[in-house]
Structure 1
C-alpha cells in the first residue's frame, strides 16, 4: 500500500558508485519512491574521489534500477534528483563545499533540513566522516533531522568497536546512528516478535521448560569468491556470527518488551545478550568449533582461492553453543553455525521442543510407537515460511504414530511483493525507527561474547582443511551437539 505521508530528506552517500550502492541501495530507494515513501521533496548527493558529471551519475542510476523499472519516464524523473560531487573524505575544504551544496538542495527540494548521511566505505573512514561532518558544519541546524547510517563491520573486536563508537558519538547522538544489518530487514527476522508475542499458545511454551534446544543455521553454498582481501581478515565468526546471527538470537531469546517501540525492544535485546555466558579458554574449546573448507567436486580448497595465503588460519565455518544465565533459558542451549561452501544455501531457525515426560503410546499397544520431538522451523531465505512437525496417528492397520509437517511456504507471487531488506531498512531510517538496527550496547555485548573465541583461534593453528566443500561442515560440529544428546535438525530430519 502506498505511503501517504512521504518523508522529505536529502541523502549524502559516501561511496556513491560502489558495488553495494549500485546493486542494493539505489534500487531500494527507487522502490520507496515508487511506493510513495519519497516524493518530489528529496535529493541524493553521490560522493567519492571519482570524477563524474551529474549526467554520468544519473546514467549509472538508471542502469542500477533497470530491474525495478516499469515506467522509464518515472525512472528518469527519479534519477533527476541525483547529483555528483567528487569528494575526498580527508579534505576539509570538500566538506565546506558539500555543506553549501546541501543548503542549496535543501532549498530547491524543500527537504526541511532533513539529512541522511550513508557511509558505504571501508570502516576506517567511518569516524573521519562523522567528525568532519560535524566540525565543518555539514549537519542540519535548522530543525531538520541528522541521521548517520553505517555498514558493517563495526570493529574487529570490542576495543576497536568502542574506539569507533566513541568517534561516532562525538559527532552524533546514539539515537541518530543507524548500524545496518541486512538480516534485520528480512521478512522472517521481522516476524519473530509477532510469532512469539502475538500468539499466546506459543508465548506460553517459549522457555526452557518446553524447548529442548534452538538451532540457527546461516549457510552459504558459495566460497570466498572475489572477497578474499576482506574475508581472510574477518572469517565466518566476525562476518556472520557476531552480527547477523547474534541479532537473530536476541529476538528469539529476549523477554517481552513493554511496547513495540525501538527503545523498549532494544532494552530487552541488550539484557538477553548481556546474559550470554562468556567462555574462558577451556569453555571456548568445549563449546565452539571452527572450520576451513577443503576441495570439493571441481572446486579448490580455501587456501587455493585467489588472494588467500597458502597458510591461512582463517575460519570459513564457525559453530557454537550459547548458554544464557537467566530464568527463561538457563538449561536450553542455542546452537549457532555459519559457513561457506556448505551443502545448501539456507537461512533457518529450528526450535526443538521436549518430548512428553511420559510416552503413554509406548505401553499397552501391540507395536510400541516412538514419539518424535515437535520442531518449529522458521525459514529465512531463500524461501520464506514456517513449518511445525507434530505427532499424529497414521492410517495403517494397528496403532502407529507418524510425524507430519504443518507448512506455510510463501508463494512466489507474495514473495515478489515483499520489500527487500534494504528497502525496509531505508524506510525505517526515513521514519526514525531504530527497531531493526543494532544499538551500541547490543554491539558491545556481542563483541564481548565473541572476543574470547576469536582470540583463541587467532593464537592457535587450526587443523585445516577440516570439511569438504559441499558438506555441512566439520564433524566436530556434529559432535558438539551429540555430547548434549542433540543433533542438527537440518539436513538430517
Structure 2
C-alpha cells in the first residue's frame, strides 16, 4: 500500500516539513520504556507524514533474546497504547513495521558491535551509509556503547554520516560530565554528538525566540528597565513512582534544574543570535550561563530551598510521602523540590532576579515562564484605593501550550475603575492542527543534521559550573535546613519566603486559589 502523505497531512491538519535522508536508525535499549512510550510512536508518526525516508531502516538493539517478529508485535502494542485505538491505523502500521528489525546482544560485549556492523551492512545493501544511534539506556551503559561503536568503526563517516543521541543526565557533576564528553570525543567528533533535552522540542519553548525577536512590540521592553522579575516553574502532581532507585541518586536539582530549567532560563534571557542556526543559538545560550556567578556557601543558604514531599491529599485521594515510595531509603534526604534565585550579571538583566522552582506532588502539573513587568507610575490614578496591577506575560509549555498576557483595562461605568484582563493564545485553537510531540521534532532534527535544539559540550559544562557549588553547599548544610511539604500543596513555605524578601511572590499553582487571589486583587 502506498500512502499519499500530502493527503494524510491535509486530512489531519498537519504540514509536511523536512524529509530526512535514507539512513539506518539504531536504538540501544529498544525494549525499554523510553522507546515504547516516546521513540517508536514518534518515528511511526514521522513515517506517516513522509518525513522519514521510505528507504530508512530501524534496528532495535537490546539484550532480550527475541526475534524480529516478536519485537514488531511489542512495538505495535506500544504505539497503539500511545496513540489510542481510535487513532491507530493497522494498514499504516503494517507499512511502518516493514522498517523494523531487531538485534539481540550484550551491550557491554565489544564483539557484539562487529556483528551489529554486519547486520547494518546486510540491511543497507552492503554499506554502512548514514547511521543514527540512539542511547535509550541507563547512563551507565553509554560509555560501553561508545566503546563498542568505536571498536567496530561504526562512528566513521567515510561512507555516510554517523550521529549519536545521548539522553540526559549528562554526568552527575562537572567532573563526570567532562569525563563523559572526553569519552565520547575519543570516538565521535563534537558535530556528531547530539545531547538531547526533550523540553527543547516543545513548541512553546521553540516559540520563545520567535516571540521575543520576531515582534517589535516585545523586544524593546525585554530588559531590566521594564522587567521586575522572571519565574520559571516546572511542577508535577506525580510522585517518583517506580523511579525510586534513580531518583535517590539524582534528586530534583540534577534531574530538572541542570538541564530543562537552565535551558528555559537561557532562552528567555539570551541576546539575539546572528542567525537561527545551531552554533549562533548555542553560543548565546552559553553566554547567559557564563554571566551567572556561581554561588558561595552563604549564597546557597540564602538563595536556594530544597524540600521533600510528605503524605497528603491530591486529586481527591491520599498519596504517600517520598520516604514511603518503593526503593527509597527511610532516612533519605533527597530533594523532590528545588527553588532557587539566579542573577544574570550583564547589561540587559543586572538587578533582575530569575526564580526557578520544580517539584513533585505539587498542587497542579504546570510548566511555564512568567515575565513580571514593573508596576507603572501611579500618580494618574492617585484617587484610587487599589493599585494598578503589573503586566505579566506567561509562556505556557504544559498544559495548553500557548501565551497569556495580562494587562489593565477600564471597567465599564462612570467611575474610573480598572480590572486586570487577559489575552490568551493557545496553539491548538489558533492553528487548528496537531502539535508535534517533542521527540518527533528532535528526532527529525537529528536525522536532518540540525543541532540547534541540542546541547553542546561547553553548554553542559557551563551549567554544571553553576550547579556544583549548590550540591557541595547542601552537603555541608545541617539536616534541619531541609524543608518538608505536604503532597498536593504549593510547596515549602521557605520557597515563598525566598521571593517575599524581594517583595515578590510565586504565581499560585492551585487554579481555584489563583482565581480567588486575582479577584481579590482588583
What is the aligned counterpart of 2:52 among 33, 38, 51? 38
1:356-397 CA-to-partner distances (Å, cap 9, x unmatched) read 2x313333x4x4441111000111102111111111211133
What is the aligned counterpart of 2:293 among 277, 280, 283? 277
Shift of residue 62, structure 1, vs aligned partner: 1.6
Match of 1:372 in 2: 389
If the length of structure 1 is used for normalisation, what is the TM-score? 0.95
Match of 1:50 in 2: 64
1:245-266 CA-to-partner distances (Å, cap 9, x unmatched) read 0001111111000011111000
If the length of structure 2 is used for normalisation, what is the TM-score? 0.90
Match of 1:9 in 2: 23
Q: Quick one: distance in 2 between partners of 1:141 and 1:428?
A: 18
Q: Is 2:214 the partner of 1:214?
A: no
On the 8 A contact 2:483/2:494 being kept in 1, the answer is no
Shift of residue 415, structure 1, vs aligned partner: 7.1
Q: Quick one: distance in 1 between partners of 2:46 and 2:90?
A: 16
> More displaced, 125-134 or 191-200?
125-134
Shift of residue 71, structure 1, vs aligned partner: 3.2
1:326-385 CA-to-partner distances (Å, cap 9, x unmatched) read 1111110100000001000000111000112x313333x4x4441111000111102111
Match of 1:453 in 2: 470
1:165-214 CA-to-partner distances (Å, cap 9, x unmatched) read 11011111111111111111111101000000001120101111110000
Shift of residue 452, structure 1, vs aligned partner: 1.0
What is the aligned counterpart of 1:428 among 440, 445, 454? 445
Distance 1:256 1:413, change over 3 A: closer
Which consecutive aligned stretches of 4+ in structure 1 deviate over 6 angstroms post-superposition?
Answer: none
Match of 1:488 in 2: 506
5+ residue gaps, structure 2, are: 1-14
Distance 1:413 1:70, change over 3 A: farther
What is the aligned counterpart of 1:403 among 420, 428, 438? 420
Q: How does 1:114-263 map to 2 (within 5 A)?
A: 114-263=130-279
Q: Is 2:380 the partner of 1:361?
A: yes
> More displaced, 239-248 or 120-129?
120-129
Q: How does 1:384-395 map to 2 (within 5 A)?
A: 384-395=401-412
On the 8 A contact 2:274/2:280 being kept in 1, the answer is yes
Aligned length: 488
On the 8 A contact 1:102/1:138 being kept in 2, the answer is no
Match of 1:338 in 2: 358
Match of 2:92 in 1: 74
Distance 1:304 1:415, change over 3 A: farther
On the 8 A contact 1:348/1:378 being kept in 2, the answer is yes
